[in-house]
Amino acid sequence: MTPEETAHCLACLFTTGENPMEPWHDLLEQAGGLARLARFSELELAQLFGLPAARARRLVAVFRVGREALLESPPPATPLCSPSEVFAYLAPRIGWPETEEFWVLGFNIRQHPLHLSLAAKGTPEQVSLSIGNVFRILLHHGAARGLVCHTHPSGDPSPSEADLVLTERIVQTGRMLGIPIIDHVILGQGGFSSLADGGYLSCD
């Protein structure tokens, strides 16, 4: 959609009056577009853009419903072969939560995504993960290989030492079970890091 069409849709949802599109067009410009607007929390929308609390809450809810719709949509017919393709697939579905979340993406043998599942949800600083749950999800969906992903609410997608240790444990478990883990992707605000690209794990 064009920015004008997007502003019109938001105006239809939230506002009435003679020029309902004007504030939404301005908001989209200030935020840097719809994708960036979807990353803000209720508090940030109120503090940074002056949205009333009720309107900010409704806007966040609309974006959340959109992400849920994407999670339930059929997976793409083409394989995800690079970290940038994985990021483009994950970011609109996971969004930018205010707490750390750990997700599991299963693939078939041709690396087509089968299912994206939330494995654990934590605090703004950390998430506690059961490695067994990662592989229960992959086995349940018949995945031939898997990818793990978690969010950094701080905005910095760089891996911590704890991230590297956890990744090694997940990769080793996958090798024992015959389900290779091909990457661990960390999402920050608008960016990502790939531990496979960084040389922190081998892609079997």
Residue after which a domain boundary falls, among 43, 71, 99: 71
Other Cβ atoms closer than 10 A to 184: 25
pLDDT in tens, 119-151: 999 998 889 999 999 999 999 999 999 999 999
Say yes or no: 134 and 166 in one domain.
yes
Say yes or no: 119 and 190 in one domain.
yes
For residue 60, give both structure tokens: 């966040």
pLDDT at 7: 59
Distances (CA, A) of 33 to 21, 29, 36, 170: 15, 6, 6, 36
Say yes or no: 91 and 163 in one domain.
yes
The CA radius of gyration of the chain, in Å to the nearest whole number, is 19
Say what the pTM is: 0.70
pLDDT at 59 over 90: no
pLDDT in tens, 81-130: 999 999 999 988 888 888 899 999 999 999 999 999 999 999 988 899 99
Residue after which a domain boundary falls, among 26, 52, 71: 71
Q: Which domain holds residue 52?
A: 3-71
pLDDT at 30: 79
pLDDT in tens, 18-27: 555 557 777 7
SS3 readout for the chain: CCHHHHHHHHHHHHCCCCCCHHHHHHHHHHHCCHHHHCCCCHHHHHHHHCCCHHHHHHHHHHHHHHHHHHHHCCCCCCCCCCHHHHHHHHHHHHCCCCCCEEEEEEECCCCCEEEEEEEEECCCCCCCCCHHHHHHHHHHCCCCEEEEEEECCCCCCCCCHHHHHHHHHHHHHHHHHCCCEEEEEEEECCEEEECCCCCCCCCC
Say yes or no: 50 and 93 in one domain.
no
How sure is the predictor about 200, in pLDDT bands with cuts at 50, 70 and 90?
Answer: confident
Quick check: is 201 in a domain?
no
pLDDT at 63: 76
Q: Using an 8 Å Cβ cutoff, are 187 and 154 in contact?
A: no
Quick check: is 42 in a domain?
yes
For strand 181-188 and strand 145-151, is the pairing parallel, antiparallel, or unpaired? parallel
pLDDT at 22: 56
Say yes or no: 144 and 100 in one domain.
yes
Quick check: is 163 in a domain?
yes
Average pLDDT over residues 183-193: 91
How sure is the predictor about 8, in pLDDT bands with cuts at 50, 70 and 90?
Answer: low
Residue after which a domain boundary falls, among 71, 94, 129: 71
pLDDT at 10: 64
Quick check: is 202 in a domain?
no
Interatomic CA distance for residues 35 and 25, integer angstroms:
14
Is the C-alpha dihedral spanning 81, 38, 36, 100 positive or negative? negative
Say yes or no: 135 and 97 in one domain.
yes
